[in-house]
Amino acid sequence: MGLRVLAAMSGGVDSATAAARAADAGHDVTGVHLALSQNPQSYRTGARGCCTLEDARDARRAADVIGIPFYVWDMADRFKRDVVDDFVAEYAAGRTPNPCLRCNEKIKFEAVLDRALALGFDAVCTGHYARIDPDRGALLRAADEGKDQSYVLAVLTSDQIAHALFPLGDTPKKQVRVEAAERGLLVAEKPDSHDVCFIADGDTQGFLARQLGTAPGPIVDVDGTVLGSHNGAYGFTVGQRKGLRVDRPAPDGNPRYVLSIEPVSNTVTVGPAAALAVSEITATRPVWTGCPPPLAPVECSVQLRAHGEVYPCVAWLDGGELAISLRAPARAVAAGQAAVLYDGATVLGSATITATR
């Protein structure tokens, strides 16, 4: 007996193929396109965006081809509150958020899942590349490591994962495109979406400047010497090298990088690459899905940004916070990003980075 499955369909090839696979697997599938923009663009600008009218049409066409009912759910208010406003507030606080992760946590697997469950559905299906261990209910990396999206799903709780379906986790993206074409899905050749979907022109700095206004402040070196000025500390990310507009070169002639962003004094501190090295990380709001909350330090590995490197580490709980000690230093770790702990391909848990040393 199949499940009653709500397939979130963005209008892209992945979610369309995922919905088709769920239907093939014998589930009773209903497609839903989430309208997330308060002012939907009529047409895509480039390949960006997941909430244009054209994307809604692509999703509807795919549902028609698969032969499933299809609806549009207006989640624009929730999306603005939980993703867009949060994104802006995080930057304003000197952190670097990941809005895709936030959208999975608050929209797809909270707002949508809650509504789906209330309406009598059993699960929400998406086109994410990740697998779920059927025995333990743990989240696993996708078979296609280049496409793996377990990092942006690692914020999900065990309960959320228990109601999730990721039919593409075992398949390389290339093969998904071939399969979509064989199924007659017209989005088979549609380019992947990139960047932040609610910033249509891809200009994050411009978007933040419009939201937050200009707030000039100093750029200083580690000694506190003022090297230049900026129009808003929110415009910087730890590890950033370009666009610093520092007049004087460093004494040693080496490039400078953003080391930290201090929102209260509106100060951006820059320094040499060596100063970006981080070996201790503190992270908040830990979620454990691949193991119980550990009572003793755990030997594992950690990923610190989407598609980022994986570092061997020891992790333990310190009060309610997660403490991570890296075996070898990592470079440019930004507060606001998720620290996701892995044991091999298994996601053990995740937490949001608050401080680094």
Sole binder of another protein in the list 25, 53, 244, 323 (CB under 8 A): 53
Q: Select the span of 30-38, 93-101, 136-144, 294-302 touching another protein (CB under 8 A).
A: 30-38
Cα 183–188–192 angle (5° rounding)? 145
73 binds another protein, rule: CB under 8 A: yes
* CB 1 to another protein: min, Å: 16
Q: How far apart are alpha carbons 41 and 57 in whole angstroms?
A: 12
Sole binder of another protein in the list 71, 189, 192, 206 (CB under 8 A): 71
Q: How many amino acids of this chain bind another protein (CB under 8 A)?
A: 21
* CB 109 to another protein: min, Å: 13
Catalytic residues: 103, 197
**Mask for 101-140, x = binds another protein (CB under 8 A):** ----------x--xx-xxxx--------------------
Closest to 148 in 3D by CA, of 257, 337, 14, 268:
14
Q: Select the span of 29-37, 133-141, 187-195, 318-326 touching another protein (CB under 8 A).
A: 29-37
33 binds another protein, rule: CB under 8 A: yes
Q: Phi and psi at residue 277, in whole multiples of 5°?
A: -65, 135
**Mask for 235-264, x = binds another protein (CB under 8 A):** ------------------------------
252 to each of 248, 255, 271, 273, 307, how far by Cα in Å?
A: 11, 9, 11, 12, 32
Angle of helix 13-24 versus helix 53-66 axis, rounded to 10 = 20
Please report which residue ranges of the chain form alpha helices under DSSP H: 13-24, 53-66, 76-79, 85-92, 99-103, 113-118, 150-153, 158-162, 173-182, 204-212
DSSP for residue 188: G
> Are the C-beta atoms of residues 233 and 268 closer than 8 Å to each other?
yes
Q: Select the span of 28-36, 95-103, 162-170, 254-262 touching another protein (CB under 8 A).
A: 28-36
Binding site for another protein (CB under 8 A): 30, 33, 35, 40, 53, 56, 60, 69, 71-74, 76, 78, 111, 114-115, 117-120
